[in-house]
Chain A
Amino acid sequence: MPVEELSDGIFNLSIDDRQMLATRNLMPGISVYGERLIVEDDVEYRQWDPSRSKLGAMVLRNFEIPLTYDSTVLYLGAASGTTVSHVSDILRDGLVYAVEFSPRTMRDLLQLCDQRPNIIPILADANKPQSYAHIVEKVDVIFQDVAQPNQAEIAAVNSKYFLEENGHLMLSIKSRSIDTVASPKKIFKDEVRKLESGFDVEFEVLQRKELEPFHEDHLGVLARMFVDHEEKE
């Protein structure tokens, strides 16, 4: 069975002529949400379903994934931890801060944290980075999947607090959570423009692509925080 490493820690397995996205299981033998485990050459991989994960869909839509084995990541909108578990797989020697607002979903996330040593759970509102500023250090990457109407703002505020210079921001924008009736194309355009110039941190948008067919009316964005050194002086 051919195994191809797409980028650090993210694999493409070919099983019976079918392609399958997977990460290397950090906790061999444990399946987090009922996904398939595949062993090849003494390495266990976990199937990564792109229709359940925005990040997985971004991989398949050919985004340059800025995650490496030792990145630190701030994950906003961790929910019950489906995607977080794959991020934790990828960051073998790294750390992920998983922020989630709802106590109910945090309950599931905590069970994941108990298993995996590289996840730090934070029960907080991503709108208020001050409330976890004492926990989170500077991170290499912020991944955001919060489905709130002020997504761009949340991304900007958190980046300002926590993102390393030239760090990467990945976010998935759900047009329906911003406006249920307006055209997604227009919303996406507005949000990207907001990211590029609406806040006192600026981003250089590297890639933007809709996440179809895995997620309807979602836009994936990869951006780098743009630091204007001249202005600082």
Chain B
Amino acid sequence: MELDEEYDVLLRDVCIRAAKSRISSNDTDDVRIIQAVQALDDIDRNVNELSERLLEWYGAYFPELELTGEALASFVTSFGSRANVPAGHPLHEKASGSMGAEISFADEELLRTFASNLCSLYDTRRHIESYIVTGMGSLAPNLSDIAGALLGARLISMAGSLQKLASFPSSTVQVIGAHRALFKHLRSNTPSPKHGIIYNNIIIKNAPWWQRGKLARAFASKISLAARTDLYSGKKNPSIRESMEKKLNAIRAANPSPPKRESKPTGKPGPKGRGRNRKGGRR
């Protein structure tokens, strides 16, 4: 009996240690970057909401002020009441002739604190962004090179880990972030999405519409290649970028002008259930 108890104590101890060490080994570089990306999203969401509020609130005192976002926040932080805008300031005229209400001291203090907190959130956001860029440089140099640090980090975050991103087929990488369109495509007869989050790269974003699908496919395949190189070798390999440029240029050269749209069937409606006409639902 005594022996048993000793065994249980030991077993518990070992199990706790094993679980703890497995949890701490879970904490890899990509986990930290994923957290940073998610923090970035949280900040964006909140910053938008708060600066919206500041605009509404401060607008009562200075409606002519046409600043938004960070510019507004830093204006309120440094001046507070519009009466404080100095003579040389470009907004001085607007400030003195404003139809806004008089601001009380208590309100001014409150708004200033509010705005300065907002400013520091903008600062934090920049800080996190540069953290991601640095972190991605060492975690995934090739991916950063191909897709850009922020998009690369976002891809890792959406995939769950660098390992997962590397193990995805590139057709999956191509549509990461297009879940709704993808599942709608699988459920009903909507056309398949051409691109998910990778749309945010200028390669796709600035491309003319008829090249986008082809470019997205090539781009996604190079992203996969880069992620795999990063996972297994960790060294930067400039040839990936070169071959990507070549491939992209070849696509651009081969598709210089928009394809002719198929002539619309006259009179009779076309076969039902296929194509662009049946895109219903939320977008």
**Chain A interface (Cβ < 8 Å from any Cβ of B):** 95, 103, 106-107, 110, 113-114, 117, 119-123, 135
Contact A103 B15 (CB under 8 A): no
Q: Report whether A123 and B19 are in contact in the complex, using a CB–CB cutoff of 8 Å.
A: yes
A122 CA / B15 CA spacing, docked (Å):
6
* 18 further interface pairs, Cβ-Cβ under 8 Å (given A103-B22, A106-B19): A106-B23, A110-B20, A110-B23, A113-B12, A113-B16, A117-B12, A119-B12, A120-B8, A120-B11, A121-B16, A122-B15, A122-B19, A123-B18, A123-B19, A123-B22, A123-B23, A135-B11, A135-B15
Instruction: Flag whether B277 is at the interface (Cβ < 8 A).
Output: no
In the bound complex, what is the Cα–Cα distance between A117 and B9 (angstroms)?
Answer: 8
Q: Which residues of B contact A107 (CB under 8 A)?
A: 23
Q: Digit string of B62-85 for contact with A (CB within 8 Å is 1, else 0)?
A: 000000000000000000000000
Complex contacts, B11 vs chain A, CB 8 Å: 120, 135
B26 to chain A, nearest CB (A): 5
Q: Quick one: given A103-B22, A123-B22, are A95 and B8 in contact (CB under 8 Å)?
A: yes
Query: Roughly how many angstroms separate A163 CA and B207 CA in the complex, as a whole number?
Result: 63
Question: How would you classify the secondary structure of chain B's contact residues: helix, strand, loop or mixed?
Answer: helix
Give A117 to B8 CA distance when docked, in angstroms: 9
A110 and B8 form a contact (CB under 8 A): no
A-B contact pairs, 30 of them (CB 8 A): A95-B8, A103-B23, A103-B26, A106-B19, A106-B23, A107-B23, A110-B16, A110-B19, A110-B20, A110-B23, A113-B12, A113-B16, A114-B16, A117-B9, A117-B12, A119-B12, A120-B8, A120-B11, A120-B12, A120-B15, A121-B15, A121-B16, A121-B19, A122-B15, A123-B18, A123-B19, A123-B22, A123-B23, A135-B11, A135-B15
Do most interface residues of chain A lie in helix, strand or loop, or is the interface mixed?
Answer: mixed
Give every chain B residue within 8 A of A106 (Cβ-Cβ): 19, 23
Give the 10 A-B residue pairs with the shortest CB-CB distance, closest first. A123-B19, A120-B12, A120-B15, A121-B19, A103-B23, A103-B26, A123-B22, A121-B15, A113-B16, A106-B19
Among A103, A119, A122, find the residue whose CB has the most chain B CB atoms closer than 10 A: A103
Please name all residues of chain A whose beta carbon is closer than 8 Å to the beta carbon of B9 when the two chains form the complex: 117
Residues of B within 8 A of A (CB-CB), count: 12
Considering the chains assembled together, what is the distance between the CA atoms of A39 and B12 in angstroms? 30
Chain A hits for B23, CB < 8 A? 103, 106-107, 110, 123
Interface code B133-170, partner A: CB below 8 Å = 1, 0 otherwise? Answer: 00000000000000000000000000000000000000
Smallest beta-carbon distance B138→chain A, Å: 24
Chain B residues with CB under 8 A of A122: 15, 19
CB contacts (< 8 Å) of A95 on chain B: these are 8
Q: How far is the CB of B254 from chain A (nearest CB, A)?
A: 46
Enumerate chain A residues within 8 angstroms of B16, measured Cβ to Cβ. 110, 113-114, 121
When C-beta atoms are compared, the residue in chain A nearest to B22 turns out to be A123
User: CB-CB < 8 A to B22: which residues of A?
Assistant: 103, 123
Which residues of chain A are near B19, meaning CB under 8 Å? 106, 110, 121-123
Expressed in whole angstroms, the Cα–Cα distance for A113 and B20 within the complex equals 11
A117 vs B20: C-alpha distance when bound (angstroms): 16
In angstroms, Cα B20 to Cα A41, docked, is: 39
In the bound assembly, the distance between CA atoms of A107 and B15 in angstroms comes to 13
Q: From A72, which residue of chain B is reached at the shortest CB distance?
A: B8
Q: For the complex, what is the distance from the CA of A120 to the CA of B13, rounded to whole Å?
A: 8
Report which residue of B8, B11, B12, B16 has the largest number of chain A beta carbons within 10 angstroms of its beta carbon.
B12
Most buried by A among B8, B12, B16, B19: B19
Tell me the complex Cα distance, A110–B12, Å.
11
**Nearest B residue (CB) for A132:** B15
Which residues of chain B are near A135, meaning CB under 8 Å?
11, 15
CA distance A122 to B18 in the complex (A): 8
* CA distance in complex: A114, B17 (Å): 10
Cα A110 to Cα B17 in complex, Å, equals: 10
Chain B residues near A110: list those with CB within 8 A.
16, 19-20, 23
Chain B residue at smallest Cβ distance from A122: B15
By a CB distance below 8 angstroms, the chain A residues around B12 are 113, 117, 119-120
The answer for the CA separation of A103 and B12 in the assembled complex, in Å, is 18
| Contacting residues of chain B (1-55) with chain A, CB-CB under 8 angstroms | 8-9, 11-12, 15-16, 18-20, 22-23, 26
Looking at the assembled complex, report how far the CB atom of A5 sits from the nearest CB atom of chain B, in whole angstroms. Answer: 26
